[in-house]
Every structure is written in C-alpha cells, then in structure tokens.
Chain A
Amino acid sequence: MYSEKVFEHFRNPRNVGVIEDADGVGTVGNPVCGDLMTMYIKVKDDRIEDIKFQTFGCGAAIATSSMATELAKGKTLEEALKITKQTVADALGGLPPQKMHCSNLASDALKRAIADYLKKRGREEDLKRLGLDKLAEEEHEEHGEVCEA
C-alpha cells in the first residue's frame, strides 16, 4: 500500500508543531474530507529558515506534510514554490493513486503560507509575479478541497 519511505515519515514526521511567531501561515483541506493541514514558515532574506506543520489525516497526509517541510526548509521562496504534489510524492517513492490528491495537500499549504507571508509584507508585486495574488486574497481557513478522488 505505502512505500517504506512513507512509513518512515509517518513514524518519525519531521518538523511537527506550531511556530507561534510565524511569518506566514497556510491552511488547506477540510475535516469533512478527513484531511486538514496547516503550515507555518519563518522567512529570512526570502529563504525559508524554519517550517512546521500540523496535520489531521491519514498516513499519507502526515507523511506528505513531513516530506514537504523537509524539501522546503532552507529553500528560497521561489524554489519552494516549485514543490508540487508530484515532487512530494516522488520524494516519498510514490503514493497510491487514490491518495495523490486528497491527502497530498502539503505543497498547497506551503504555497498559501508563502502567499500569506508576502501579503503581510505588502509585497503585492511579488504576489502577482509569482501568481499568488488570488491565493492571498482568500481566507485560508475557509478553503476546502472537494473531497473526491
């Protein structure tokens, strides 16, 4: 069902927790669908200096959250935005097809956290340039993925 790497990240998830004075916060998912995750980032010189997550969800949801934080840590914001569902799944040695979308929310949460950071700093031009302007306008708490495979 899951790769050994997924199990490993599920057993020992990296970067679990909350950053109280986070520079950016992104939440995606919906408890009704069984997956909800929040990503917290600390940014210094446009680089992700620290990152933490909290996830309600299945094994894949927790493992992808952990893997995404590992991939993002130390990257510049632009580099971090290149992390996709596919990147995260590949880094974990693949995911079962039905888990690819519903449980693989971490890259979206990361995008939202970055958008939140840029918005808070009033960097409208960067938001536009990076295609995050629409994302930044939405209230992240209300965002819900459609629960479909």
Chain B
Amino acid sequence: MVYLDYVAGCPVDRRVIDEMLKYFEHPGNPSSVHSKGFEARKIIDDARSKVAELINASPSEIVFTSGATESNNLAIIGYAMRNKRKGNHIVVSAIEHISVINSAKFLQKNGFDVSYAPVDRHGKLKIDELEKLIKKDTILVSIQHANPEIGTIQNIQEIREVVECALHVDATASLGKIEVDVEKMGVDLLTISSNDIYGPRGVGGLYIRSGVRVNPIIIGGGQENGLRGGTENVAGIAGFGKASEITKREWKDESERMEKLRDRLLNGLLKIEETYLNGHPTERLPNNASVRFSYIEGESILLSMDMENIQASTGSACTSKTLQPSHVLMAIGLKHEEAHGSVVFSLGRWSSQQDIDYVLEKLPPIVERLRMMSPLYVKKKKGGE
C-alpha cells in the first residue's frame, strides 16, 4: 500500500495508541469528587499542557473539542454570538475549510454580514483586498494557516498587521508540518486537530487567547471551563497530548524529510506532459504535492491508482457530494475542466522514498491510458499534428 492521502486521514502513531490503552480502562470522570475523578482530571490536565506547549500557549487557553470542525464552529459561531454587540460583520477567506465557510453561512442566516477575502492564483490571500473588506463593525477575521488541498501557506504575521479585530486561524493542516506559535502569529483563536498529528480521531482543540470570550456551542454541564459541555473523552485527549509531545520533538526533522520526498515526487510528476502544479511553488506545506493533469478526470485517476494500491485525493466535482468542483480550486482561478483533473498527494510520517518511486513508476501509464480514452486528448493531438 502506498498511502499518500494523509490530508484525508492519518493512522494513529503506535506510541499514541500505547498511551491511550492505559486510559480506556480507567473509569474516572474528571468531574467526580473522588480519587478516580482526580486521576482522570490529572490525565486531561497533563494532556492540555502538552498540547499548549506545542503551540506556545498556556494550558488554560486550550479547549478540547471533538475535532477541527467543532473547533472551527466554536471559534466562528461562538465568537460571533458572544461579541455581536461589537458588530455584525465577519470576514473569511475564500479557501477556508468547509466547516469555516458553512459556519460563516450559518451566521449569515442569523443576521450577520459575511465577506469572503480573495486569494491570488497561488492561493495567497490578497492582504490589500482583505484590508478593504474590514469595516468598523468587523468583529472577526478567519484565515487558514495553510491549505490542505493546494498546500499554500499564509503569512499570518503580515495578516495580523491589518486585522485589528479578533483573528481566528485554522491550523489543522499546518500543525506538525511548519511552525505554529500563537504568540509569534498573534492570533486570538486557533484551530488544531489531533488526527492530523497522528493522534486519535474525534479529538481537537481550540486555542482561545486569554481574555477573548466565546459562547459555547455545545451546551452541557460546564466542562472545559464552561466552553464545551459533555464528559471529557479522557483516552482521546490523552492521545492528543501524547501526539503533541511527539510532534513537538520530531516535527522539524520530519518536515525536512518529507520535503525532500515531496520534491522528488513533484519533480517526477511535473515531467508528465501537460501536468501542472496547484498552489504556491515555494510557500507550501512540506508534505503537499497538488497537481492537475490535463484532459483527464480526477476520480478516474484515483480509481486507477487504487488498482495499483496507491491512495490520494482529488478536487474533482465528480467525487463531491454536490457535484461541484472544490471551492479552493475555483478560488485560485482554475477552470472547471482544470479542476476536474486535480490530484493531491499528501505525505506523512510513514511515507518513504520507495513509495514515491513506486508512484512515479505507476502513474505515467495510468495518465497515458486515461488520456488515450479521452476525446479531449485525442482531439488536441490531432489538432496539434
């Protein structure tokens, strides 16, 4: 198996599983007033410290959630609801994760104004355009640190300079790949996810800068400092803590290694005729290779690769539930037919040079076979001869 779809899902690191196994059998509820409760509380507190350390925050600034989607919901809906007397306008970038876009749409239906900040053809936010969108009643700006689909990294410090209101950054794709430091970035809210750093699924976090107020969106018994109701997922949170500890120690070496492999992959892919890079040529995640192949469609490419036991992702409309191409690929100005042939290869902790070389051996004939079936390619060939 050559799994290059880490952007869609990551395996859990064995070291994390071993840590979690210790806690699945633990009966304690962190809210209980007895020794088992106190132990469970300590497990969560330890994990909170490790997660906070990874992003240079204080433990009290971390709220555990069920994942990046909930964190994005809490950041955007929770912040807007809590601070609506300050204004009713929010700005999100055009290439945000769907959970950010749909949170913004939810607010729009509930009386807020939403603006979408455009990006250039490489997926870089147009900071001057963002500046123009910010009004005096703008209370929140939400920008992704890096985009999982095209790999482009935003310069959050530069963005912070033009954003006076609260700034939310979705760091789901960047955490563990590049530096994520809430102090250097100057963010107020930051979304992180456990599975993206090889922790368990169903666990995430939201950094909320001390002094920033949000309303909970899951109402319960006051857990997580009143910001997230529901008995804590103790084993999951412990896993997230362990994954953070490992990531803090290993991410730099890992990113360096992945970047070399990614470059090897990209160089090989771009040698295939009429194959183009999506996203920024240099300011991109070290594990992301996003390309598009002309004249063929992404789902066919994925299924063909899967026949060779290679797994990746596509932004093609043909694989989406709405049959619309990826909003990210549209926002960087691709035509529909270009978006259809897009494939994202994302590398991770267990990707090897052997994997890359296998893909580079298997993919050219797949592209060739689909192109020979494609009337667009054959027509183009005839026209060119």
Contacts and interface: CB of A to CB of B under 8 A. Distances in A.
B297 A58 contact: yes
A131 interface: no
Interface residues of B, number: 27
Contacts of A149: 322-323
B297 A147 contact: no
Nearest to A13: B373
Contacts of B295: 56
A56 B316 contact: no
Main DSSP-derived SS at the A contact region: mixed
A58 B299 contact: yes
B378 interface: yes
Contact of B316 (A13, A27, A58): A58
Contacts of B157: none
B300 A32 contact: no
B84 interface: no
Contact of A98 (B300, B323, B372, B374): B323
A98 B321 contact: yes
B8 to A, nearest CB: 15
Interface in B357-377: 372-377
Q: Which residue, of A10, A54, A56, has the highest number of chain B Cβ atoms within 10 A? A: A56
A55 B378 CA distance: 10
A103 to B, nearest CB: 7
Contacts of A18: 378
B317 interface: yes
B337 interface: yes
B319 interface: yes
A59 B373 contact: no
A140 to B, nearest CB: 12
Contacts of B322: 149
Contacts, number: 77
B375 A27 contact: yes
Interface in B284-306: 295-300, 303
Q: Which residue, of B307, B318, B319, has the highest number of chain A Cβ atoms within 10 A? A: B318
**How many residues of A sit at the interface, in one of the four size bands?**
20 to 34
Contact of A55 (B316, B321, B335, B373): B373
A130 interface: no
B336 interface: yes
A139 to B, nearest CB: 15
B340 interface: yes
Nearest to B321: A98
Given A36-B375, A58-B316, 19 more contacts: A18-B378, A31-B336, A32-B335, A32-B337, A33-B317, A34-B316, A34-B317, A34-B325, A35-B297, A36-B374, A54-B374, A58-B298, A59-B299, A61-B300, A102-B323, A103-B318, A147-B336, A148-B323, A149-B323
A30 to B, nearest CB: 9
A13 B373 CA distance: 10
Nearest to B371: A56
A37 B375 contact: yes
Interface string A33-72: 1111110000000000000001111110110000000000
B303 A59 contact: yes
B303 A32 contact: no
A103 B297 CA distance: 12
A62 to B, nearest CB: 6
A56 B376 contact: yes
Contacts of B321: 98
Given A55-B374, A102-B323, A11 B307 contact: yes
A103 B319 CA distance: 11
B375 A58 contact: no
A56 B319 contact: no
Contacts of B316: 34, 58
A59 to B, nearest CB: 5
Contacts of A13: 373
Interface string A86-100: 000000000000100
